[in-house]
Amino acid sequence: MSTVASAESSTQGNVGKQTRGQPEVDFDAIVIGAGFGGLRMLHELRELGMSARVIEAASDVGGTWYYNRYPGARTDSEAWVYAFSFSKEIQDTWDWSERYPGQAEARAYLQYVADFCDMRRDIQFDTRVRSARYDEQTKTWRVDTSDGRTHTCSYLVTATGPLSTPYKPDFPGIDDFAGEWYLTGNWPKEPVSFTGKRVAVIGTGATAVQAIPLIAQTAAEVTVFQRTPNYVLPARNAPLTDYEREAYRANYDTIWEKTRRHFFAFDFEAAGRNVADVDEAERRRILERYWETGTFRFLFETFDDIFTDEQANEVVAEFVREKIRAIVEDPATAELLCPKDHPLGAKRPPLGHFYYETYNRDNVQLISVRDNPITAISRDGVMVGETEYPADIIVFATGFDAVTGTLKQMDIRGRGGVSLNEHWAAGPQTYLGICSDGFPNLFMVGGPQSPFANIPVVIDGCVEWIGRALGHLRDGRHRTIEPTPQAVAAWRDHMDDLVNQTVLPRAAGSWFMGGNIPGKPRVVLFYFGGAGAYRDECNAAADRGFEGFSIS
């Protein structure tokens, strides 16, 4: 165990100490990122009585919610489960105003948490981690930051978020574009006006689905470039009333228990039936009911085999296509919007806020670039072969180098100076999605091969586990923890087994599988056995004395 400073001493910044003959470090732990993961981790470290420094590239807390300020940005999780469960006081004093919080509110929530817990004193803003090297001699990490400083710590925790490195295709000609262009994942702080402008939106993922209906309100024209249509489910957002807030507060114990068990970490129930268990009329009644309910209940409380049975999936997918055809007036546009090349849920389905309805506006047109890709950006717009679509503003809603992108940007080196990039050249190598072999005392919150699910709940489980591991090291006076290569290899095989039991591998180009970035290894990036099962697996490994880990 390295230096253990009291929670109080963490207020003092560099608290280098030497106790029990251990090497001096600046902090017990350095956490990278001050979004949901980083703040939750800081809280855990304080509970353990460890000193910590959080290093954050942005000027404030928020992570995703700091950068994603594009119009319409909001959660697809319902407010009351897109939150921390560690503090009843925060639960009782923070009022969510809408069923799905918008970007400003999600960010304000994290600011509230940071202030409530007096976290900012342990966070260094406007600073990027450039590199982190494990020193085998001292068994410590040396972390170099963009301000030219080096900090040492016993434990390095990455909480950089799975969707934090935006991806912009390298279209030729962008430098000559006469108008403005924006990347949704790194939106300016100043408001962007679309009024009277011709706007090109590239992409139709969850981000574009949120942005397009709002941009269309004031723009003169919106041209949407769609490569792959998505199954967009209605969100049915609404203001929350005091009664609703009172109800979820009163039920929080049950709500959190449900989220911890649920496959995607929501407070949903299993449907208890498969598609084939009911006749056509009953099936339609169930699907209609959940279509009206909004949120992802449509995927989870209708039928239990949507993700695992292709025929069942197709029945529900066709129901969605029927809805698209019913909503969108122009039959040709409706048909273009109907996804036919991948099962429902195989790519991340967005929640929509009058998304399909927006295509009934006179100022919105949809261009399919599936067979005729965008070839260049011209001075005046977007080129699809010889055809130019004029634009004053281009919005790139083209996604992220998901899960591994940000980790690989930092030069993280473990034993023998081996970099994470080298070690992960063929895809991430982790055990439990938390640790990687050859990288002692490196922990990842929401890292690769952990579940894709409602992320605050996933983070909570990861952080609790890390807290257990750190407590185990401290109590046993151990210095390092590191997974065995065997455990890592078995975990990778397990990831493949789990995803192969679902319809997910049927979607080419899904960022779940690294398929959206040219040249990225095509491997499953998440644990798809369910967030509840994941928590059980992590706890079981800890219960068995951190089986699969070398502890020294």
Binding site for ligand NA7 (CB under 6 A): 163, 169, 202-208, 225, 227-228, 348, 369, 374, 397-400, 509, 511, 516
| Cβ–Cβ < 8 Å for 227, 370 | yes
CA atoms within 13 A on the CB side of 210: 23
The residue with its CB nearest to ligand NA7 is 205
Of 140 and 207, nearer to ligand NA7 (C-beta) is 207
Of 42 and 364, nearer to ligand NA7 (C-beta) is 364
Residue length of the chain: 552
Q: How far is the CB of 135 from ligand NA7 (least distance, A)?
A: 36
Q: How far is the CB of 315 from ligand NA7 (least distance, A)?
A: 23
Q: How far is the CB of 286 from ligand NA7 (least distance, A)?
A: 26
Q: How far is the CB of 325 from ligand NA7 (least distance, A)?
A: 21
Q: Which residues 6+ apart lie within 8 Å of 329 measured at CB? A: 360
Residue type, 122: D
Of 227 and 478, nearer to ligand NA7 (C-beta) is 227
Of 264 and 491, nearer to ligand NA7 (C-beta) is 264
| Cβ–Cβ < 8 Å for 434, 450 | yes
Q: How far is the CB of 166 from ligand NA7 (least distance, A)?
A: 8
CA atoms within 13 A on the CB side of 174: 12
Q: How far is the CB of 322 from ligand NA7 (least distance, A)?
A: 22
Question: Residue 328 burial by CB count (10 A; 0-12/13-18/19+): exposed, middle or buried?
Answer: buried
Of 110 and 202, nearer to ligand NA7 (C-beta) is 202
Listed as own residue / partner, the contacts of 487-494 with beta carbons closer than 8 Å and 24 or more positions apart are 487/431, 487/437, 487/547, 487/548, 487/549, 488/429, 488/430, 488/431, 488/436, 488/437, 490/548, 491/430, 491/431, 491/432, 491/433, 491/449, 492/427, 492/429, 492/449, 492/523, 494/529
d(CA 356, CA 352): 8
Of 154 and 398, nearer to ligand NA7 (C-beta) is 398
| Cβ–Cβ < 8 Å for 237, 213 | no
3-state secondary structure of 242: helix
Of 463 and 517, nearer to ligand NA7 (C-beta) is 517
Q: Which two tokens stand for residue 346?
A: 């195989």
Q: Which two tokens stand for residue 204?
A: 């139709």
Of 169 and 471, nearer to ligand NA7 (C-beta) is 169
Q: Which two tokens stand for residue 71?
A: 């119009």
Q: How far is the CB of 407 from ligand NA7 (least distance, A)?
A: 17
Bridge partner residues of 369 (DSSP): none
Q: How far is the CB of 373 from ligand NA7 (least distance, A)?
A: 6
Q: How far is the CB of 275 from ligand NA7 (least distance, A)?
A: 25
Of 430 and 510, nearer to ligand NA7 (C-beta) is 510
